[in-house]
Structure 1
């Protein structure tokens, strides 16, 4: 970024460092495990209300089911992370933001579950739009919505450690790139990308991280979090004609690549090739955090791009080849994707990475 850390950063960094060093989210992973991170606690099931949202809230589990069925990995090879606790979240988030999540209405706004018509009185014909999640006590929302997200955050943080040790890691979840330290939105409650990176700074002694954000939407959350941090280089390739329209955050992007609605596979992959060429000469990262949203898929109602499933597999392959050519560890997060077919697309892409020998899902030797 163009500016150095703010004057009060040193005090904050000391507190942050202490929290990171006391965390239990980094743990030793047996060599029998493959660097694929997932827990059944990722999946959201909320009395059927999750069906009101275009996001497939059980996508993460279905990705693993497809991978297991295809013989890419076994269930006992998957790494199960710990849930991120309050002290872990405070590494990035403020007390006030976390306190705001104790209000069901605030959580409902962030996850954007479609409102429905609610009868206000049996003797009248008055109806009002009410976000259904807002109607539940916080304890229910906490257990059914926030806890699954915190488990995914734990997975994203652990992925940094595993990638450093094994060369790569895929969190079958995470990628909540619309959430910053002080504000959630767009189905993103916690800033797992920012947390993953701050843990890497302290625990892995890393000082240069590249975010490659290829979700269809602009990653305004991590952009605001690292606006004044030169240790992070952001390549964001997004559709400027869709949410979040965050022009302030756009000024914080090091390498902005806009792909307009209707962009086809060939156009997209050409722009990606050009972007990666520029990134290769612009920054020398020690870790790559790859936000691999599948909402660029043709037909996605929110991404509005026209990228084929094969194109997504090729996109992921290009990013992994970019990391491999530079011998840089890479963390992949699955992020957005608003079609039921997204889970199969992700699984097929991971299978392709294995076939291309860009990841090894049969054994997991330590890095030399």
Structure 2
């Protein structure tokens, strides 16, 4: 069964100015339920993640200052969010959503989080609307507690997964692959195990050719036992922050490529949604919905 992390806290604990793009966290499950792609039984509401799993990834001093709302003004500004108890509570639930999705993926082949993909969170700081790194936390959980020996992170958000790259720079059991806008945020890039920077305006054909020439080779080369897929839809030409030239159909084919390769190679995959900032919320929801539709079709 396809299991999907979703909670009302994903959208309803955010400050007023951030609620438009975050409305997708409510609209997406509503759309999937309405069209019959999923039922209520597919959704699970994660509890807050236990602190010990956060500390497997994040610096204890940073977590203590974050959790006690004692970040400096500069640190808060870099996150992009006003710091609040509600925001921390939201983040800790999202972290467990991806961790539990990974555990479900071990059982069913795929698990998904309607939120997550917080790949700009470093070991000791937050950036770019990311306070804690859900992919890193879940990957470390699998490595430390589930006997997984090699993880591949496939980060296809338009922004480089700089936090994830930093966290795992000295961890041979995790291979980080990021394909992103070369001239987009973050302007100082970290070094992933493999980075593919894209030119502005990159279209479907160019993007998909690059992905299809790269991902099968990585699977053969690295022999991962688990995949984390950051499936941000800010690659769309309509995205306010993306600067690429992809269509909704091209984005769907991107997701099909990743998910079908995981299925074909019997690789469990946990999917986090990542970014999406098109002016029309319908474009965001449709592009994200395709990811869930494909997972349902391919596995179930």
Is the 2:75–2:125 Cα contact (8 Å) retained in structure 1?
Answer: no
Aligned to 2:171: 229
Deviation readout 1:139-184 (Å, 9 max, x if unpaired): xx112x2211211111011111110111111111101001011121
Aligned positions of 1:248-259 closer than 5 A: 249-250=190-191, 253-259=192-198
Two-structure CA RMSD over aligned residues (Å): 1.8
Aligned to 1:214: 156
Aligned to 1:37: 5
Aligned positions of 1:170-181 closer than 5 A: 170-181=112-123
2:30 aligned with 1:65: yes
2:200 aligned with 1:261: yes
Counterpart CA distance in 2 for 1:46 and 1:161 is: 27
Is the 2:230–2:271 Cα contact (8 Å) retained in structure 1?
Answer: yes
Aligned positions of 1:129-278 closer than 5 A: 133=82, 141-143=84-86, 145-247=87-189, 249-250=190-191, 253-278=192-217
* Greater helix proportion: 2
Deviation readout 1:320-340 (Å, 9 max, x if unpaired): 111112111011110111122
2:282 aligned with 1:314: no
Aligned to 2:57: 92
How many angstroms does 1:46 deviate by?
Answer: 4.4
Aligned positions of 1:260-299 closer than 5 A: 260-299=199-238
2:79 aligned with 1:79: no
Is the 1:110–1:189 Cα contact (8 Å) retained in structure 2?
Answer: no
CA pair 99-238 structure 1, distance change in 2 beyond 3 A: same
Find the residue that maps to 1:173 and give its secondary structure.
coil
Deviation readout 1:231-260 (Å, 9 max, x if unpaired): 01122101110111234x22xx22221211
Aligned partner (choices 54, 70, 82) of residue 103 of structure 1: 70
Deviation readout 1:83-110 (Å, 9 max, x if unpaired): 1243332221122212332136456424
Larger radius of gyration: 1
TM-score by length of 2: 0.92
Counterpart CA distance in 2 for 1:44 and 1:103 is: 23
CA pair 108-44 structure 1, distance change in 2 beyond 3 A: farther
Counterpart CA distance in 1 for 2:96 and 2:45 is: 9
Deviation readout 1:259-311 (Å, 9 max, x if unpaired): 11110111111111111132133210000000101110112121111111111
Give unpaired runs (5+ residues) of structure 1.
1-32, 114-132, 361-368
Counterpart CA distance in 1 for 2:253 and 2:93 is: 29
TM-score by length of 1: 0.76
How many angstroms does 1:69 deviate by?
Answer: 0.8
